[in-house]
C-alpha cells in the first residue's frame, strides 16, 4: 500500500496547508465474479490533495482505477478503506442524509453524455433536479436551468427538448450544466471528452477552462489522453494498477518524467513536429497490464519495466519525493535522474 503524507502541491508548485480535497490511503476492493475467485483491488491505497481552484489530472491505462477513484470521492461508491476529506471534514462515512448538503459542493461529469442523461426527461428537468433536491421550487429551478444552458453555450429556448435531440457535444454541455446547477466548488470530470469527436473535444475543453476561470472551480480531471491533460491541468497524477506511481506539477512531469511508466506513456503522445516525431525515442512496454485480481508481488510494474531489478520483484516502492527541493513524488526504486 502506498501512502502520501506530504503537504499539498499547489498549482504554482508551492504548498498549501488547507486543501479543498484530501484523499488518504483510499482503497476499493470488489468481490470476485465467481464464488471462489479472487477479489479485485481496483484502487490500492492512493493519496493526493486538490487545492481550491486547481485542476489535478488523473491519468493511466484503462482499468487502472481512475474512474473508481472519482466515484469514491463523490461517494457514488463506498471505499473499502481509507478516507476522503472535503474542506477539512472527513466525509468517508457520512450517511446519505449527512451528505445531502455537501452534494451542492461535490459534483460529477460523466464520460458518455447520452448514457448519463435520462432519455425520458426534458433538459429542463435534468438540470433542475439537483436544485429541487436541495429545496428550490420548480419555477426557481427552471429559471436557473435556462441560465445554465446559456452559460454552457446552449440555446435556452431548447430547454424543453429531450437528450436525443442534441449532438454528443451538446449533450455533454447539458451534463456540465447539471453538474453546475448547485454551484459546486469541486467537479470530478470522468473522461469528459473521450466519447466526443476531436473537434468537439476542443470546444468542451475550452468551455471547462472558461467555467473554471469564471466560477473558481476545482477539477479532478480523469483522462487517458495526455495531450488534453497537458493543456488543462496544473498537476498530474499517474496511476498504474490501482496505485499512483508519479504525481507532480505538470511542467516537471512532462519535461522529465521520473517513473518508467510515465516515460512510456509520454513517448506515445504524438508530436506536432514531424521531424521531432521521427527522431524521438519510443518506449514499448512488455506484455499487457497484469490483472488486478492477481497483481504481481513487489512493484506491480516490474513485469513490464525495462529497468526492473531483484528488489523490484519483492519490495513495493513507496511514493517519495523525486528530488531534493521538488514537490513531485515518484514510486520507483530506480527513478530517472536518481
Do the domain assignments include residue 335? Answer: no
Place of cell 468517508: 92
Coil, helix or strand for 263? helix
Taking the mean position of all CA atoms in its chain, how far away is CA 3?
18
> Is 259 found in the same domain as 218?
yes
Do 136 and 242 belong to one domain? no
Q: Which residues contact 15 (CB under 8 A, 6 or more apart)?
A: 7, 8, 9, 327
Burial classification of residue 113, based on how many CB atoms lie within 10 Å of its CB (0-12 exposed, 13-18 middle, 19 or more buried): buried
Q: Domain check: are 135 and 225 in the same one?
A: no
Q: What is the pLDDT of residue 12?
A: 38
Chain-centroid distance, C-alpha 105: 17
Is 88 within the bounds of a domain?
yes
Residues in CB range of 118: below 8 A, 6 or more apart: 125, 126, 163
Q: In this structure, are 133 and 277 located in the same domain? A: no
Is residue 93 domain-shared with residue 202, that is, in the same domain?
yes
Closest CA to 335 of 226, 261, 283: 261
- Do 199 and 153 fall within a single domain? no
3 part of a folded domain: no
Question: In angstroms, rounded to a whole number, what is the distance separating the alpha carbons of residues 110 and 172?
Answer: 8
Report the interhelical angle of 168-180 vs 123-133 (nearest 10°).
20
* Structural domain includes residue 81: yes
Mind listing the pLDDT tens digit of every residue in the chain (338 residues)?
A: 444 434 444 433 444 458 999 999 999 999 877 767 788 999 999 999 999 999 999 999 988 999 999 999 999 999 999 999 999 999 999 999 999 999 999 999 999 988 999 999 999 999 999 999 988 899 999 999 999 999 999 999 999 999 999 999 999 999 999 999 999 999 999 999 998 988 899 999 999 999 999 999 999 999 988 989 999 999 999 999 999 999 999 999 999 999 999 999 998 877 766 766 666 777 878 788 888 888 999 999 999 998 899 999 999 999 998 877 788 999 999 998 76
Q: Residue 66 domain-assigned?
A: yes
Q: Which of 182, 211, 236 is the last residue of a domain?
A: 182
What is the radius of gyration, based on Cα positions, of the chain? Answer: 21
Same domain, 23 and 162: no
**Residues 57, 137 within the same domain:** no
Query: What is the count of structural domains for the chain?
Result: 2
Backbone angles phi, psi at 98, to 5 degrees: -70, -30
Which residue among 182, 201, 218 closes a domain?
182
Question: What is the rounded distance in angstroms from the CA atom of residue 263 to the CA atom of residue 270?
Answer: 14
Q: Rounded to 5 degrees, what are φ and ψ at 6? A: -80, 170
What pLDDT, on the 0 to 100 scale, is given for residue 4? 43
In a domain, 284, yes or no: yes
34 forms beta bridges with none
Range of the domain at 160: 114-182
Q: 298 in helix, strand or coil?
A: coil
- 255 domain residue, yes or no: yes
pLDDT of residue 3: 42
Query: By the 8 A CB rule, do 1 and 166 touch?
Result: no
Provide the grid cell at 151. Answer: 452559460
Which residues, in sequence order, are bridge partners of residue 244?
239
CATH number at residue 62: 3.40.50.300
Same domain, 196 and 228: yes
Instruction: Note whether 22 and 143 are same-domain residues.
Output: no
Q: Assess whether 63 and 194 both reside in one domain.
A: yes
Asked whether residue 168 is assigned to any structural domain, the reply reads: yes
CA–CA dist 192, 57 (Å, integer) = 12
Domain boundary among 182, 212, 234: 182
Whether 226 and 311 share a structural domain: yes
Amino acid at each position: 500500500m502506498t501512502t502520501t503524507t506530504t503537504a499539498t502541491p499547489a498549482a504554482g508548485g508551492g504548498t498549501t496547508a488547507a486543501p479543498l480535497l484530501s484523499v488518504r490511503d483510499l482503497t476499493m476492493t470488489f468481490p470476485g465474479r465467481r464464488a471462489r475467485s479472487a477479489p479485485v483491488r481496483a484502487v490500492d491505497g492512493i493519496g493526493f490533495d486538490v487545492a481550491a481552484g486547481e485542476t489535478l489530472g488523473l491519468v493511466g491505462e484503462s482499468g487502472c482505477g481512475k474512474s473508481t477513484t472519482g466515484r469514491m470521492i463523490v461517494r457514488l461508491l463506498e471505499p473499502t478503506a481509507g478516507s476522503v476529506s472535503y474542506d477539512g471534514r472527513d466525509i468517508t462515512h457520512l450517511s446519505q442524509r449527512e451528505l445531502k448538503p455537501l452534494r451542492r459542493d461535490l459534483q460529477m461529469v460523466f464520460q458518455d453524455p447520452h448514457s448519463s442523461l435520462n432519455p425520458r426527461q426534458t433538459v429542463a428537468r435534468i438540470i433542475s433536479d439537483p436544485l429541487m433536491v436541495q429545496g428550490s421550487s420548480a419555477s426557481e429551478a427552471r429559471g436557473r436551468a435556462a441560465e445554465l444552458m446559456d452559460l454552457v453555450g446552449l440555446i435556452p429556448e431548447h430547454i424543453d427538448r429531450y437528450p436525443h435531440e442534441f449532438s454528443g457535444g451538446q449533450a455533454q454541455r447539458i451534463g456540465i450544466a447539471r453538474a453546475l446547477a448547485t454551484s459546486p466548488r469541486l467537479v470530478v470530470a470522468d473522461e469528459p471528452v473521450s466519447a466526443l469527436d476531436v473537434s468537439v473535444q476542443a470546444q468542451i475543453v475550452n468551455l471547462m477552462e472558461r467555467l473554471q476561470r469564471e466560477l473558481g472551480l476545482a477539477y479532478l480531471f480523469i483522462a487517458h489522453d495526455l495531450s488534453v491533460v497537458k493543456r488543462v491541468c496544473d498537476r498530474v497524477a499517474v496511476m498504474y494498477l490501482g496505485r499512483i506511481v508519479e504525481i507532480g506539477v505538470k511542467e516537471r512531469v512532462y519535461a522529465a518524467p521520473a517513473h518508467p511508466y510515465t516515460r512510456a506513456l509520454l513517448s506515445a503522445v504524438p508530436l506536432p513536429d514531424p521531424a521531432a516525431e521521427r527522431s524521438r525515442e519510443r518506449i514499448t512496454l512488455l506484455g499487457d497490464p497484469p490483472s488486478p485480481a492477481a497483481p504481481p508481488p513487489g512493484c506491480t510494474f516490474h513485469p513490464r519495466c525495462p529497468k526492473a531489478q531483484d528488489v523490484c520483484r519483492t519490495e513495493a516502492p513507496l511514493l517519495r519525493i523525486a528530488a531534493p527541493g521538488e514537490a513531485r513524488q515518484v514510486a520507483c526504486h530506480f527513478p530517472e535522474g536518481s
